[in-house]
């Protein structure tokens, strides 16, 4: 099935049954609680102490006066936590309709396609459950910007006049930076912004067709530089030049996600036959929808539990001692990440990131050659030259290689003399730098593959191969010895669960969709971009993924404890009077903090969200412990005074809770990071 954005969009228009956007906010605001908690967040930013213990009695009594809701209401309120995200659309150009009329039309197109949806995980660890319990919703506002339009038109015109035509391409190559500079300045002026800006440019007819280039130099027969019409900034803005192109990039022969030339893709909305304003806005809505899904609320590649210390081990398995180092500059990869860390991207407050490099000689490592030979497969294809000729290509089966490397991690540690790391999450990155001349890729196509617990990459002496992708009407070549960019992309996936820009989990299709619309410009993923620097999309996703995983864990755990209360006959039966009061207070505080965490996430204030999540863990623990104590007492009384049938259900429940408690208690200080036990 060819899934372009527009087909998805229209499929959605047809299929969607609008989901009620129920974000039931907590009942009455509690006077003083906000002040108390924000003061706590300053005194104890890591939430090491349980804030419940220092609550004043008046706050406690207002917490217990709050409406006590029924069991199912409680669960419903947990499952309806929803994160509103704001997207500001800025229409730059005279031919766009005014913001007031376009705003309502855009909103009506979009509300038909999405009102509220859940966050999703492409590869959950255990189950087939791709859906997280947290929802998100789009909040759109639209404006026109005439002053920006005239400045951009002037700049674009002078760039086009300056650029000589190329024989290789019908499109003039305009460097993206000319336009980006101006838009970035405009964005800076809007600060402080909550949310993301999306600029649509329509700068009128130009003297020649043009598109943007993102690198230095021109294409050559062996090196294709893909043209695009979009850019995602380091800061939270995106621009799309609808007058550029039409560009094409995607799978060369067949496959999902191709961007066809012509007027069907919404990126080419202004090309082809003239359109009515309504049709143009439908195309814009489709682009807004796609940008929202892919760039604002991207699927998680994997769930990522919080860890204080993150460590990347580069394990370089080399064939020749002093082989050609170009294309495998560890420092460059490290710098890509550390630049963002130093710029307060990527990591949450007290997290740290380190890189270490180890070297192993292929000749002196029997397990390495075993792993390679066991995972080598061959793929045979027939080509018609003079006669039919069989061509045999070798490739490595990444799943098998992963299996062998996992099984022999100890052996690897020994041959590479890798010390044991006490603490934190270690991501091994195995790079096989082999001394052979043939092409050897992973699963026939990839230089590097990300798993949840490791990254595997391979290169040989062979320098380039034709990939199955094309852009500007030509095949894209893969520079097979350049591993830096593929490694950056894989590390992002394994360490932070950041999805590649072209992948999206679709619950309606029950599969991962592929769409390359945003895989050009500034993204470390995919074959069409050359950049390994990160845009706001990856930087935000890295932090949001950790927080969403924790939030989902808290929700699951809170639902578990509610179920166990229900299994014991409800809270009034299980809990004695003073216990019940504390239960209600704890519960309302927990719910309050989760709401605060969600609203901080929606303002993209990740640090505050982390604080509230950590702080809410104390209340979750308190509730678990209350319910455990009460169920113990209940069972003791049942055993002593009556002669009931053995309460299998409640006993096994208590045993379960006991283990949870025992575990939580043993690791109380490390409570937060131990959320990974979930996986
Ligand atoms: C946590 O509580 C303990 C004992 O009440 C106190 O000594 C400590 O300073 C508190 N920590 C923070 C960060 O407030
Ligand atoms: C097919 O053609 C190649 C050269 O084009 C030649 O070397 C080979 O012997 C031919 N095979 C057969 C079976 O004719
Ligand atoms: C989704 O696909 C998986 C396997 O591909 C299948 O086991 C599962 O039942 C499907 N889920 C739904 C809701 O169709
Ligand atoms: C998220 O929470 C839901 C609801 O409790 C649970 O079913 C699901 O397994 C959780 N997913 C992850 C990845 O933790
Ligand atoms: C549960 O019981 C233990 C031991 O009796 C006690 O230390 C703990 O404080 C109790 N927890 C709650 C929340 O009442």
- In angstroms, the CA 529 to CA 523 distance is 7
* CA of 127, nearest ligand number: 4
Q: What is the pLDDT of residue 663?
A: 52
Nearest to 164 by CA among 155, 178, 174, 176: 174
Minimal-distance CA residue to ligand 4 atom 6: 556
Q: Is 506 exposed, middle or buried (0-12, 13-18, 19+ CB in 10 A)?
A: middle
For the stretch 423-452, what's the b/e string if a residue is b when 16 or more beta carbons lie within 10 angstroms of its beta carbon? eebbbbbbbbbbeeeebbbbeeebbbbbbb
pLDDT tens digits, residue range 99-128? Answer: 788 888 888 888 877 656 899 999 998 778
For the Cβ of 57 lying below 6 angstroms from any atom of ligand 2, the answer is: no
Q: State the number of CA atoms in the 13 A half-sphere of 157 facing the CB.
A: 11
Minimal-distance CA residue to ligand 2 atom 9: 387
Task: Report residues whose beta carbon is within 6 angstroms of any ligand 3 atom.
Answer: 128, 510
For the chain, which ranges sit under pLDDT 50?
1-27, 261-262, 642-645, 662, 665-666, 668-679
Minimal-distance CA residue to ligand 1 atom 1: 49
Minimal-distance CA residue to ligand 1 atom 8: 49
DSSP summary character for residue 231: E
- In angstroms, the CA 22 to CA 436 distance is 59
- In angstroms, the CA 185 to CA 232 distance is 14
pLDDT tens digits, residue range 307-324? Answer: 999 999 999 999 887 777
Domain ranges of the chain: 51-80+534-635, 84-296, 309-496
For the Cβ of 383 lying below 6 angstroms from any atom of ligand 2, the answer is: no
Beta bridge partners of 220: 223
Q: What is the pLDDT of residue 262?
A: 46
Cβ atoms of residues 497 and 451 within 8 Å = no
User: Does the pTM exceed 0.75?
Assistant: yes
- In angstroms, the CA 577 to CA 573 distance is 10
């Amino acid at each position: 099935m060819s899934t372009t954005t527009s087909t998805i969009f229209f499929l959605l228009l047809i299929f969607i049954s609008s989901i009620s956007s129920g974000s039931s906010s907590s009942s009455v605001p509690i006077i003083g609680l906000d002040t108390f908690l924000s003061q706590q967040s300053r005194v104890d930013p890591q939430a090491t102490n349980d804030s419940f213990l220092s609550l004043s009695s008046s706050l406690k009594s207002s917490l217990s006066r709050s409406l006590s809701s029924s069991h199912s209401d409680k669960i419903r309120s947990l499952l309806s936590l929803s994160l509103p995200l704001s997207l500001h659309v800025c229409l730059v150009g005279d031919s766009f309709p005014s913001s007031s009329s376009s705003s309502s039309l855009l909103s009506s197109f979009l509300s038909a396609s999405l009102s509220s949806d859940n966050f999703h995980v492409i590869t959950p660890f255990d189950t087939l459950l791709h859906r997280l319990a947290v929802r998100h919703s789009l909040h759109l506002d639209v404006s026109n910007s005439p002053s920006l339009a005239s400045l951009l038109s002037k700049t674009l015109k002078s760039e086009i006049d300056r650029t000589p035509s190329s024989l290789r391409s019908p499109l003039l190559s305009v460097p993206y930076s000319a336009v980006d500079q101006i838009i970035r300045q405009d964005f800076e002026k809007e600060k402080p912004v909550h949310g993301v800006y999306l600029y649509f440019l329509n700068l009128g007819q130009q003297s020649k067709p043009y598109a943007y280039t993102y690198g230095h130099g021109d294409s050559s027969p062996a090196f294709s530089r893909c043209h695009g019409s979009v850019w995602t900034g380091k800061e939270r803005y995106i621009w799309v030049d609808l007058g550029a192109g039409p560009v094409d990039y995607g799978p060369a022969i067949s496959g999902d996600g191709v961007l066809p030339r012509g007027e069907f893709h919404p990126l080419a909305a202004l090309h082809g036959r003239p359109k009515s304003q309504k049709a143009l806005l439908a195309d814009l809505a489709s682009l807004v929808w796609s940008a929202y899904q892919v760039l604002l609320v991207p699927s998680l590649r994997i769930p990522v539990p919080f860890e204080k210390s993150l460590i990347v081990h580069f394990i370089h398995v080399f064939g020749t001692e002093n082989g050609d180092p170009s294309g495998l500059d560890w420092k460059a990869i490290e710098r890509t990440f550390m630049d963002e860390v130093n710029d307060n991207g990527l990591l949450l407050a007290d997290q740290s990131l380190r890189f270490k490099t180890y070297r192993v000689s292929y000749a002196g490592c029997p397990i390495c050659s075993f792993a390679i030979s066991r995972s080598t497969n061959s793929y045979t294809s027939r080509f018609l030259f003079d006669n039919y000729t069989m061509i045999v290509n070798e490739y490595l089966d990444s799943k098998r290689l992963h299996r062998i490397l996992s099984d022999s991690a100890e052996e690897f540690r020994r041959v590479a003399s890798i010390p044991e790391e006490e603490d934190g999450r270690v991501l091994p990155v195995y790079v096989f730098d082999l001394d052979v001349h043939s092409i050897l890729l992973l699963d026939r196509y990839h230089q590097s593959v990300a798993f949840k617990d490791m990254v595997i990459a391979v290169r040989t002496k062979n320098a380039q191969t034709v990939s199955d992708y094309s852009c500007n009407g030509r095949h894209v070549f893969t520079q097979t010895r350049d591993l830096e960019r593929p490694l950056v992309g894989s590390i992002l996936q394994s360490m932070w669960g950041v999805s590649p820009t072209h992948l999206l989990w679709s619950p309606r299709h029950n599969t991962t969709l592929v769409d390359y619309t945003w895989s050009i410009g500034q993204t470390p993923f995919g074959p069409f971009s050359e950049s390994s620097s990160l845009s706001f999309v990856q930087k935000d996703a890295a932090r949001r993924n950790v927080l969403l995983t924790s939030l989902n864990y808290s929700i699951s755990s809170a639902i578990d404890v509610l179920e166990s209360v229900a299994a014991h006959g409800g809270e009034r039966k299980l809990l004695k009077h003073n216990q019940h009061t504390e239960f209600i207070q704890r519960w309302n505080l927990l719910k309050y903090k989760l709401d605060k965490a969600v609203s901080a996430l929606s303002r993209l204030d990740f640090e505050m969200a982390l604080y509230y999540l950590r702080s809410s863990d104390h209340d979750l623990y308190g509730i678990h412990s209350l319910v455990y104590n009460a169920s113990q007492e209940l069972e003791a009384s049942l055993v002593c005074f009556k002669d009931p049938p053995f309460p299998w259900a409640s006993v096994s429940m208590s045993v379960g809770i006991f283990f949870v408690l025992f575990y939580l208690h043993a690791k109380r200080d490390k409570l937060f990071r131990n959320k990974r036990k979930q996986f």
